[in-house]
Amino acid sequence: MKQQRSAGWWGLVFAAVAAAATAQAQPAWPAKPIRLLVGAPAGGSADALARLLAEGLQHDLGKPVIVESKPGAAGVLAVSDLLQNGRDGHTFLVIQGGIVSETPLAYKVSYQPFKDLKPLAQLSRTGLVLVANKDLPVTNLQQLVAYGKAQKEGLDFASYAAGMKGHTSGMLLGQLTQMSMKHVGYKGSPPGLTDLMGGHVPLMFDGLPTSLPLIKAGKIKAIAVNYPTRIAELPQVPTFKELGYPELAQAGWFAVWSRPDAPPEVQQKIRELTLRHFQQAAVQARVREMGMDAAGSATSEELMADLRQAHQQQAALLKSIHYQPQ
């Protein structure tokens, strides 16, 4: 009996020594530069937010943080990179929540949105704005609806991608106002905005970060925003909710994402550093300058619950217009 106890004791000792040796063999995190993938073209809002985040992480961790633009396929290319390289906790993704709630409905994707991706922390909250060509003879939504109904062939409107919220918002507006709206899809905001300014399309539902500079410059005009409250940078522009269309109040948000199976302690560290950095007054001011609100402190579980609800709403809208994934 004594010999068995002795053998058991030595077994525990050997296990502890092996565990300690394994821990010593593991390099301290981060062991190499951190990559922040951006699922959109360089220069856009996701890119700007990723660079803000990189500044904070690099300062706090003392390691290089590299921002890599991975545009294409509505963010799917960036997701693929994350899923291939994100298990060790050195690769993360900066993108809108629509990568889970919208993209899988609009495009045929190979990932499982509610299983393969995890939002760690919000970076900002934002919405869409209905903008018009500066020469369109309307200044508010009431005038726009009257003008649109008078057009026998209906009104064209642009969006940054077919099947996404910029598309379904226009179709929903048409349904709610009984105004004929015809969608013209573009590959991103810049070409759509260029055609809007050129008079090739009269209207567009676009993200505030890309439209805001053009609105301020007087190159296009804002009709209404789909955010629940007025935007600080556009205080004179009403919300669809206050104009009587609460169905169009569909705010979104940007976040930093990881693979769910990345090391839990790394996920928690990235979340803590992100929230701390984006709660700084100077950072929040820079976020507001882009036409977005400061981030909240919602948990991953709360963010995913919000996305499940948004996913259901978007699915219903796409079904109502008989949209088929591309």
User: Which pLDDT tens digit goes with each residue over 269-290?
Assistant: 999 999 999 999 999 999 988 8
How do strand 128-133 and strand 155-159 relate by DSSP bridges?
unpaired
pLDDT at 11: 57
Q: Is 60 helix (H, G, I), strand (E, B) or coil?
A: helix
- Predicted local distance difference test score (pLDDT) of residue 188: 81
Residue 13 has pLDDT above 60, yes or no: no
pLDDT: which is higher, 296 or 262: 262
User: Using one digit for the tens of pLDDT, what is the confidence trace for 125-166?
Assistant: 988 999 999 999 999 999 999 999 999 889 999 998 888 899
Instruction: State what percent of residues in the chain have pLDDT above 70.
Output: 92
Kindly tell me if the per-residue pLDDT of 20 is higher than 50: no
Residue 224 predicted with pLDDT over 60: yes
Determine the average pLDDT of the residues in 238-263: 94
Which region among 221-225, 256-260, 287-291 has the lowest average model confidence (pLDDT)? Answer: 287-291
The Cα–Cα gap between 64 and 6 comes to 50
The residue written with tokens 């991953």 in the block is 300
pLDDT band at 244 (very low <50, low <70, confident <90, very high): very high
Q: Per-residue pLDDT tens for 79-96?
A: 999 999 999 999 999 999
The pLDDT mean for the chain works out to 89
Name 74's Cβ contacts closer than 8 Å, sequence gap at least 6: 39, 99, 103, 106, 107, 161, 164
Instruction: Find residue 225's DSSP bridge partners.
Output: 129, 239
Q: Is the pLDDT of residue 22 over 70?
A: no
State the pairing for strand pair 293-294/118-126.
Answer: antiparallel
Residue with tokens 């959109």: 40
pLDDT at res. 190: 86
| pLDDT classification of 18: cutoffs 50, 70, 90 | very low
Whether pLDDT at 21 is above 50: no
* DSSP secondary structure letters along 104-170: HHHS--SS-HHHH-EEEEEEEEE-EEEEEETTSS-SSHHHHHHHHHH-TT-EEEEESSTTSHHHHHH
CA R_g for the chain: 23
